[in-house]
A and B are shown apart, each in its own frame.
Chain A
Amino acid sequence: MITIEDLHVIFQTDGGKVHAVDGISIHVHAGEFYTLLGPSGCGKSTTLRCLAGLEHPTSGRILLDGEVVYDSNRGIAVPPHQRDIAMVFQSYAIWPHLTVFENVAFPLREMRPRVADKEIWERVTRALELVQLSGYEQRPAPFLSGGQQQRLALARAICRESPVVLLDEPLSNLDAKLRVETRLELRSLVKRLNMTAVYVTHDQTEALTMADRVAVMNAGKVVQETPPREIYQKPQSRFVASFIGQINFLDGKITAPGTVDTPAGKLKFVDGKDHTVGAEVTVAIRPENLRPADEVNAKFGSLIEGTVEEVVFLGNTLDCVIGVGADKVSVQLHPSNSISPDDLLKVRVRPEDITILAE
């Protein structure tokens, strides 16, 4: 449905050139909910704006629904108003001089050949119903709350029934509680309407809960592209591992196939890849995968032990830091454990919970 090939965007700024997008190639299938995740400034919005036609790429090719809308080699650049794309902006971009109804009707009124008033009325009413804004039609748009404005922006995007919707951090201006509620609502709405969505966010939880596929971006490049679960469980680089969730890094050396030597001792791992014996690697372990050693898990996994240095009670978990040699390792325990500083703590980690990073 959407194909981006080798996209580059270079901005000329007062401080020199900024390579905002540095050779991105992605392919989004029809009906897919695709998420671009990355720290702020990594080029997510720029990529999205290239798709919309709002930004001029320096080079590359973009196809929408099989048609070339941008090709630097052939000098093709279809302007935004001729691309059949809907977009939800981070700022919502609600026109303050129009009513709620007219905001939603705007894209329909721009369609050629003209859409009949009756049909506009029907489609706007339906869109407002879908986002639960019925009854607000005649209200001036600035008199809506933040959450309502967000839904209005969504209604405007869906009412024109374009096959593709682009969303640029649409939830980031909502308060935390509303954000959680809206996440799944938004996803199911997009799925129900059978739209292809490209969703930009810097919030890992949004990416993990909403996406069919996540592309993690860093410094203008896509560094990993997989379904959300895999991003969390099988990060392929230190950057991805540390960007999503908490993680411990230990320096290690492969001593035998399936065994890595670290300051915390020899650890067994399985990742189905070939590692040369003697290679220097980084070992990544999530805190929640370190469980207190007991009879049940004694059969599998490797033992790590250290002195407890810090304990933080977080309600649903108990976070501790244990000193293992010169390194520190975070462990996430169930709050029922009673642990205090200076205790000796033994934890075990399963081989499949260990990630070996080749750096």
Chain B
Amino acid sequence: MSATPTTTGFGSVEAGSKRSIVSQIFPWLVLALVLAMTITPIFSLIAGSFSLSRLPNEFSLDNLGLANYYAVWVEQRIDRVLWNTAIYVIGSTIFGIAIAVVLAWLVERTDMPGKLWVYAGVPLAIAVPGILHSITWVLLMSPRAGFINHAWMGATGTSTPLFDIYTMGGLIFAEGLRLVPVAFLMMVPLFRSMDPSLEEAAATSGASPLRATRRVTLMLMLPGLTAITIFQAITALENFEIPGILGLPVNLHVFSTRVFNIIDNVGTIPAFGQANAAAIFYLVVALIISVVYIRLVRHSERYAVITGKGYTPRQIRLRGWRYVALAGALLFLFVTIVLPFLVMLYISLINYMRQPSWEAVQNFSFQHYERVLNQPRAQKVLWNTIYMTIMTATSVTILSFIIAYIVVRTRFVARYFLDLLAFLPHSIPGIVLGLALFWLLLQFDILTGASTFGSLYALVFGFTVLFIAYGVRAMSTALLQIHADLEDAAKLSGAPPFRVATRVFAPLLMPTIVGIWIYCALLSVRFISLPLILSQGGDNEVLGVMIWYLWDNGNISSVGAIGVVLMLFMFLLALVLRFVGFGRQRSVGAAL
């Protein structure tokens, strides 16, 4: 056997060395790509903030200065916006985390009945776009015409409304509720991985169940809880849909709306340079919080491999409170999922804007659906949205796999830098990235003669940058759980890299791949901040933006019809996410 050449042979020398060159250059190409995706927009944002020309396409090196910073930071008092933002972020985070903790505790550690409803319902709440939430709250709680306020004033005869959603309290309420689902999904594994023997030890030491929970469980969970809280604070800080609908109309500004307001204010000339100066302040605040977050999770959560320990934690008996707890949980689901749907459904079916009544119900008709969906604009927007969503989800998934693979599996010298770089966009607020791309793509088109600005690809690019941090984290968590030997065994079985990817990684990572894909699809439909800035009319208008302008123009029935269709579509995606992607909620939480 020694001398006879084998059928496959030991491979040719040339092929061998060529391959190794490709495999050496490839990571650098990926690094360059990620660098280009993250750093160049930021660079153009900074450059633009010094530009004193009125419009981005008039940018010139001769016309630079600090006037924008002076105008925004000093004249317009950015500290007020900072103050508002702080109250809004802290308030909504506390509100959202508190609800999420109670919900997670109820389903994981108590004998509350009907837990399945909560597990099944919460992911659905992720699917409701924020803009539809805000619109729902306005329809219900705007001071005069809000359904609730109207009914209240009618019933009591007073002229003071019960609620006013156009306030800081309204912002905190609306955003707090939006934070709950993801916070809940992140918390469930935290509660689940708690070793019950620690609590039992406290119990045998004479601590009552509640004291054991407080002194042992809570203390042990504190690092994890802190990380989740900061994560949610970043989410709140970056959100635009809530303050955009509830704060912007009454000039109650937080960072995201302030930046938008500078370039999109009726009756004034957009001041792009000033918007950039404000955005840089915004970005720095977000970066600082993100750095705190990275430092917190770097060693703990990131590389913790999930162990499937098969114990059932001791459940606290709620006795008579069981049904009270269930009612509370169901109320949350009703308010965040069912209510918005009912409100959208209602306004889509009535002929003209009127308060809910039996008479209104009798006159329901589907005319708005027919009218809206037959518009060429709506069809175009629908198609744009679907195309953009598919492209975004696919590119994020593929890119995340490549980056995560390099970071987790290779010894590429710059892998930690690549990892950090891929996490960086997590701290770029959507509105800021939108603005940055506005500048970048305009300049890019001027230089190259291409027409990226105003195209759907601008949105795909922007969303890919925004979601890559999420994708890479989810993917590397999953990759870390696949033993490297499984890959090596395939290589030694004669499988070239591409076949290893399709025969070993693809099937083993399928739940994660599907999970990332659908989650990014959901996010890209939900997010309106970035497309709002980048949308230039019909060519790259997407559903979220169309709803925004329909609402802005008071076209409420159309908002309802589109809202209903959108929500049904999103629920469908969320259901697929739950049943196909991710081994239950576990990895979604772990990955966020």
> Which residues of A line the B interface, CB within 8 A?
1, 11-12, 30-31, 49, 52-54, 64-69, 74-87, 89-93, 95-97, 106-107, 110-112, 156, 160, 162-163, 194
Contacts and interface: CB of A to CB of B under 8 A. Distances in A.
27 contacts: A49-B488, A52-B488, A52-B492, A74-B13, A78-B10, A78-B13, A79-B16, A79-B19, A79-B491, A80-B492, A81-B496, A81-B497, A81-B500, A82-B9, A82-B16, A82-B494, A83-B10, A84-B6, A87-B488, A93-B486, A97-B508, A106-B493, A106-B503, A110-B494, A110-B495, A110-B499, A163-B2
B492 A86 contact: yes
Contacts of B491: 53-54, 79-81
B15 A82 contact: yes
Contacts of B486: 93, 95
Interface string B1-41: 11100111111110111011000000000000000000000
A86 B494 CA distance: 9
Given A52-B492, A93-B483, A97-B508, A79 B2 contact: no
Contact of B488 (A54, A68, A110): A54
B507 A30 contact: no
B10 A89 contact: no
Interface residues of B, number: 37
Of B1, B413, B488, B492, which is in contact with the most chain A CB atoms at under 10 Å from its CB? B492
Given A54-B488, A96-B508, A106-B503, 20 more contacts: A12-B411, A30-B1, A49-B488, A54-B492, A75-B20, A76-B16, A78-B16, A79-B491, A82-B12, A86-B492, A87-B492, A89-B488, A93-B488, A93-B489, A95-B489, A95-B490, A107-B493, A107-B494, A110-B499, A156-B493
B420 to A, nearest CB: 15
Contacts of B6: 65, 84, 162-163
Contacts of B2: 1, 30, 65, 163
B385 to A, nearest CB: 34
Contacts, number: 123
A163 B10 CA distance: 11
B416 to A, nearest CB: 10
Nearest to A98: B507
Contacts of A76: 13, 16-17
A69 B15 CA distance: 11
A54 B7 CA distance: 21
Return the 5 tightest CB-CB contacts between A and B, nearest first. A82-B11, A93-B485, A107-B493, A93-B489, A78-B16
Nearest to B21: A75
A91 B483 CA distance: 8
B402 interface: no
B493 A84 contact: no
B492 A85 contact: yes
A65 B489 contact: no
A111 B13 contact: no
A76 B499 CA distance: 23
A227 B243 CA distance: 78
A346 to B, nearest CB: 55
Contacts of B12: 82
A160 to B, nearest CB: 7
B504 interface: yes
A112 B411 CA distance: 30
Nearest to B14: A76
B17 A75 contact: yes
Interface string B389-429: 00000000000000000000001010000000000000000
Interface of B: 1-3, 6-13, 15-17, 19-20, 411, 413, 483, 485-486, 488-497, 499-500, 503-504, 507-508
Nearest to B5: A65
Contacts of B499: 110
A92 B486 CA distance: 8
Of A31, A162, A194, which is in contact with the most chain B CB atoms at under 10 Å from its CB? A162
Given A79-B19, A163-B6, A95 B494 contact: no
B1 A87 contact: no
A82 B10 contact: yes
B370 to A, nearest CB: 48
Of B2, B11, B17, B411, which is in contact with the most chain A CB atoms at under 10 Å from its CB? B11
A232 B140 CA distance: 87
B94 to A, nearest CB: 38
A111 B7 contact: yes
A84 B492 CA distance: 8
Contacts of B500: 81
Contacts of B413: 12
A39 B358 CA distance: 83
Given A52-B492, A89-B488, A78 B11 contact: yes
Of B7, B12, B499, B507, which is in contact with the most chain A CB atoms at under 10 Å from its CB? B7
A97 B10 contact: no
B513 to A, nearest CB: 13
Contacts of A87: 488-489, 492
A112 B496 CA distance: 11
A106 B19 contact: no
Contacts of A112: 8
Given A79-B20, A106-B493, A110-B495, A68 B13 contact: yes
B358 to A, nearest CB: 57
A91 B485 contact: yes
A111 B8 contact: yes
A194 B13 CA distance: 27
Contact of A67 (B8, B10, B15, B411): B10
Contacts of B494: 81-82, 107, 110-111, 160
Contact of B8 (A82, A89, A90, A156): A82
A89 B413 CA distance: 27
Nearest to B416: A14
Nearest to B493: A107
A78 B16 CA distance: 4
Nearest to A70: B16
Contacts of B20: 75, 77, 79
Contact of B9 (A11, A81, A84): A84
Given A81-B496, A163-B6, A106 B490 contact: yes
Contacts of A91: 483, 485
A112 B503 CA distance: 16
Given A54-B488, A82-B10, A82-B16, A160 B493 contact: yes
A52 B493 CA distance: 11
Contacts of A74: 13
A27 to B, nearest CB: 13
A96 B483 CA distance: 11
A77 B488 contact: no
Nearest to B7: A111
B302 to A, nearest CB: 15
B226 to A, nearest CB: 26
A80 B490 CA distance: 9
Contacts of A54: 488, 491-492
Given A111-B7, A162-B6, A89 B17 contact: no
A334 B554 CA distance: 101
Nearest to A168: B485
A234 B550 CA distance: 91
Contacts of A156: 489, 493
